[in-house]
Amino acid sequence: MFYGTELKNRLMLGTAQYPSPAILRDAIAASGAEVITVSLRREGAGGGAFREILKESGCRILPNTAGCHSVREAVTTAQMARELFDTRWVKLEVIGHADTLQPDPFALVEAARILSAEGFQVFPYTTEDLIVGEKLIEAGCEVLMPWGAPIGSGQGLRNLEGLHTMRAHFPDTPLVVDAGIGAPSQAMAAMEMGFDAVLLNTAVAKALDPAAMARAFGQAVEAGRVAHGAGLMPRRDMAQASTPIFGMAEFAS
């Protein structure tokens, strides 16, 4: 449940870097995603064909403030996106480090506070830092989007312990793993850990067959969610025979 909206498909898909509008359209359809992210810069450069794809997809649009490096820039971009897409949802990015694209936690919290006060429903791109997460919730966020790894890196879930801890620390807050996912198995692992959704872009857009990869990610996210709900077996330090000794045949020597 994200700000009162329940989604059947827990894969959120980005719309940047695709080879062509037709391939983007096919990938969205194959993924089964109900939410697609769009940057204001991307929408402005895409022209009519891109806008038509967004309309035809039937997906909910999650505008993002990609590329913003200050509170003022992020807030202004979000305000423009609300007018353009007619939605209160916004994926808030305030980048603080040029190489890792790690979010600036101080600017992120401040921007989230401003936007929440203006009625936005903020999806903040953050790290797995628990204190930053608490500050974002205090600022009005009802969803947190911790990174798996740096954007576009394909490294997957780089800090498993940190993500496990975050899931345990915020049991009632929707958590979406955002950024760094490079393979369907990594997305499935996030869902098996109990995360509520996965957002990715590059791994699909840059695949040899984006539509096939989008389908694989959709299936992986669904499988991971079902597995988590079914109850994964705990890990053991030692082997345990699946066939009990009691009742086995005894052979005379």
| Residue 94: inside a domain | yes
Whether residue 45 is annotated as binding a ligand: the answer is: no
pTM over the 0.85 mark: yes
Q: Quick check: is 122 in a domain?
A: yes
Residue 46's domain comprises: 11-230
Question: Buried (b) or exposed (e) across 165-184, using 16+ Cβ within 10 A?
Answer: ebbeebeebbbbbbbbbbbb
* Residues in CB range of 86: below 8 A, 6 or more apart: none
Residue 169 lies in a domain: yes
Lowest mean pLDDT among 91-95, 171-175, 233-237: 233-237
22 is in an annotated binding site: no
What confidence score (pLDDT) does residue 179 get? 92
As for how many domains the chain has, the answer is 1
Q: Is 140 annotated as a binding residue?
A: no
Catalytic machinery residues: 91
Residue 235 forms part of a structural domain:
no
Percent of the chain with pLDDT over 70: 93
Angle made by CA atoms 180, 184, 53, in degrees to the nearest 5: 80
Residue 200 belongs to a domain with what CATH number? Answer: 3.20.20.70
* 75 domain residue, yes or no: yes
Q: What are phi and psi of 99, to 5 degrees?
A: -80, -45
> Is 1 domain-assigned?
no
In a domain, 252, yes or no: no
- Looking at residue 45, its pLDDT comes to 47
pLDDT for 80: 94
Residue 248 inside a domain? The answer is: no
Q: What is the mean pLDDT of residues 129-138?
A: 98
Q: Which two tokens stand for residue 155?
A: 């490294």
8 phi and psi, to 5 degrees?
-80, -35
Over range 32-44, report the average pLDDT: 81
179 labeled binding residue: yes
